[in-house]
């Protein structure tokens, strides 16, 4: 079954991703979307270091929000897919678009605020501003495990990451649509052997 006409998936990378790398997961996701569905793929890319990512985080969120609004103003249904720090960019962008309707939000090993009442996802889903929220959790996510353990300390210095994508029990309790891979590490979703499966969770292939 093909996607509805004029439906776009916007893919948002995490830290240490190089926009010029044609083999980056966002580039591959756009190609996969065009080859395997009736949807359009778009990428929102940026470079950020592990310690410097907060410097331009709000600016990234504003630019992502602008991209979403540009598509919606032309009648597109918008879905957003993020990995790691990209999920924090998405959450910030959503707060800048209080009345914008989104079809889907997919958060993969998300380094963003866990609590759906704090990050705004619960309110937006209850108000039907977002039709679907899907959270991906890797059972062996060392990066988010470290982020969770050090968050309180690093926040004092304006650093630290959220850790939505690390605690499967918490996620299953607070989110309805969850993808759990017990043997995956933080970025294993995009390894060659796993990529098709990951994308198929997000977008149904054309029959």
- Average pLDDT value for residue range 146-163: 61
Q: Where are the beta strands (DSSP E) in the chain?
A: 7-12, 40-44, 77-83, 102-108, 130-138, 177-181
Distance, in Å, from the CA atom of 207 to the CA atom of 37, rounded to the nearest integer, reads 9
Q: What is the mean pLDDT of the chain?
A: 91
The pLDDT, as a whole number, for residue 160 is 55
The pLDDT, as a whole number, for residue 149 is 62
More confident residue, 69 or 3: 69
Of 50-54, 92-96, 108-112, the least confident: 50-54
Distance, in Å, from the CA atom of 99 to the CA atom of 183, rounded to the nearest integer, reads 38
Give 155's DSSP letter: H
Q: Tell me what percent of the residues of the chain surpass a pLDDT of 90.
A: 76
Q: Strands 7-12 and 130-138, how do they pair?
A: unpaired
- Average pLDDT value for residue range 122-140: 97
* pLDDT(141) > 90: yes
- Given the structure tokens 């103003």, which residue do they identify? 73
Q: How confident is the model over 159-206, as pLDDT tens digits?
A: 556 889 889 999 999 999 999 999 999 999 999 999 999 999 999 887
Q: Which domains does the chain have, with CATH numbers?
A: 7-202 (3.40.50.1820)
Q: Is 54 helix (H, G, I), strand (E, B) or coil?
A: coil
> Residue 69: is it exposed, middle or buried by C-beta count within 10 angstroms (0-12/13-18/19+)?
middle
* pLDDT(96) > 60: yes
> Residue 173: is it exposed, middle or buried by C-beta count within 10 angstroms (0-12/13-18/19+)?
exposed
* Other CB atoms within 10 Å distance of the CB of residue 193: 7
The whole-model pTM stands at 0.92
Res. 1 pLDDT band, cuts 50 70 90: very low
CA 42 to chain centre: 13
Distance, in Å, from the CA atom of 96 to the CA atom of 82, rounded to the nearest integer, reads 17
């Amino acid at each position: 079954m093909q996607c509805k006409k004029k439906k776009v998936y916007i893919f948002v990378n995490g830290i240490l991703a190089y926009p010029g790398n044609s083999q980056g997961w966002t580039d591959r996701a756009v190609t996969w979307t065009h080859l395997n569905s009736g949807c359009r793929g778009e990428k929102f890319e940026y470079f950020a270091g592990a310690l410097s990512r907060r410097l331009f985080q709000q600016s990234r969120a504003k630019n992502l929000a602008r991209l979403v609004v540009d598509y919606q103003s032309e009648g597109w249904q918008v879905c957003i897919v993020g990995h790691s720090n990209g999920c924090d960019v998405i959450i910030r962008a959503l707060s800048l678009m209080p009345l914008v309707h989104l079809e889907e939000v997919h958060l993969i090993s998300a380094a963003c605020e866990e609590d759906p009442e704090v990050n705004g996802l619960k309110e937006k889903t209850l108000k039907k501003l977002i039709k679907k929220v899907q959270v991906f959790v890797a059972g062996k996510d060392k990066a988010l495990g470290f982020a969770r353990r050090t968050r309180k300390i690093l926040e004092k210095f304006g650093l630290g990451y959220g850790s939505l994508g690390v605690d499967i029990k918490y996620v299953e309790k607070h989110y309805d649509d969850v993808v759990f891979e017990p043997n995956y590490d933080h970025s294993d979703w995009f390894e060659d052997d796993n990529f098709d499966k990951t994308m198929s969770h997000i977008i149904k292939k054309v029959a």
